[in-house]
Amino acid sequence: MRIFEFVLAPSDVQPILEAGRKNIEASVRDEPGVLSMYCAVDKDNPTKVYVVEVYRNQTAYQAHVESAHFKAFLEAIKGKVRSRRVIETTPAVLGAKAFHWP
């Protein structure tokens, strides 16, 4: 499980969120090893975006980074991320209900 923190320029937030939406939708729909992906914007700092990704295993993660939709996302954010932090975690307890937001 990976947690990403991105800091963006205000003018880049909406285009990057749209690129992220496309990537997340394709990843969840097309990749069996993607268990869940979430994107959220910091309430107090709307230029700070968080992405949480949960994969079945390392092989599933590798398949994701090699996918066309992920490569398109990387191209869309190229040169637009002011800072990026990645937190590698080991899931302890996960629970979810099937839903789509919004």
- The predicted structure's pLDDT at residue 101: 73
Angle at 34 between CA 39 and CA 74, to 5 degrees: 55
Q: Which residues contact 94 (CB under 8 A, 6 or more apart)?
A: 35, 36, 54
Which domains does the chain carry? Answer: 2-88 (3.30.70.100)
Determine contact, residues 34/60, Cβ cutoff 8 Å.
yes
Rounded mean pLDDT for each run of 10 residues along the chain, 102 residues in total: 97 97 97 96 98 97 98 96 96 84 73
Q: What is the pLDDT of residue 100?
A: 74
